[in-house]
Amino acid sequence: MARAHIIGIDLGGTNLKIGLCDGSCAIRAKRILDTTSFTHKDALINAVAVSVDAMIREAGLTRAAVRGVGIGLPGPIDTARGIVHFFPNIPGWREVNLRDILRRRLGLPVRVDNDANLMALAEFKAGAARGAANAVCITLGTGVGGGLIIDGKLFRGSTHAAGEIGHMPVSENGPACGCGSFGCLESYIGNRRILAYARGVFKRTVSLEEISALAARGDRKASGVWEYVGAKLGIGLAGAVNLLNPDYIVIGGGVANAGKILFDSVKATILRRAMPMQARHVKVRKAMLADPGIIGACLLVKE
């Protein structure tokens, strides 16, 4: 039987998404688990393996029909050796050879890469960055991840750790960040930081969805939250625009659903803070794909 299927996995700080894809990387089945319910890395890895086994079984497939498993995670990954150096926001992950662990457990080829790299690969091949020679792709969620397309190829850097835009310092003396540093972009606009900022604005607990809904109805406080987030993100992106001169900036992840107010703030900040030629050239777009992490993990195996 031809190996016509690929398992794509998007392992984030909040959700674990597993998809069964066909040879064109279209998702045929999907399951989602809560990452935060696992307090130890071994339990989370076991949940990945059990879910993959179940997905193959429920689809009526044999191992021979599965080409391989691709998995994306936040943080620095040695994609050549399949080693997760560090998994921000999940304690206990240091120098874990996830590729070999899953390969032994599943009996299938396994590829591992940074989740934002895989989002960038998916959006470049089939989404909002299609046709670009150079693009910066950002995921806004539990953390702030980045993937780079340079000269039409995914750029990983010398130690496979390029693209960590969330850990670019944007302040000399900012708040502590999950990476161990301080003043990083992520320490201002990761989900938890946005919610903490919004609590200060509203004097009560609010959700990201509520902030977006209120902003859409013209609430000034809610609009101000997204303008603040867009300005902080725009400052980080202005540096990336000056450094890389991209055609597109593609923004995805749950926070990107804030919509026009957020994007307008990002664009205005880039125009104000980046050098004029680069700022006028770059186009800021919302990510197009519903599950770019899964699709990118599938492409990683396929290509």
What are the chain's domains? 5-117+291-302 (3.30.420.40), 131-286 (3.30.420.40)
Lowest mean pLDDT: which of 176-180, 240-244, 296-300? 176-180
- Under the banding of pLDDT at 50, 70 and 90, the label for residue 201 is very high
Is the predicted pLDDT of residue 2 greater than 70, yes or no?
no
Sheet holding 83-86, edge to edge: 77-78, 83-86, 94-97
Measured between alpha carbons, how far is 202 from 41 in angstroms, rounded to an integer? 36
How distant is the alpha carbon of residue 107 from its chain centre?
27
Which tens digits make up the pLDDT trace of 107-143?
999 999 999 999 999 999 999 999 999 999 999 988 8
Per-residue confidence at 27, pLDDT binned at 50, 70, 90?
Answer: very high
Rounded distance, CA 112 to CA 95, Å?
13
Q: Which pLDDT tens digit goes with each residue over 6-20? A: 999 999 878 899 999
**Which pLDDT tens digit goes with each residue over 59-73?**
999 999 999 999 999
Residue-wise pLDDT tens digits, 244-265: 999 999 999 989 999 999 999 9
- Given this model, what pLDDT does residue 1 score? 45
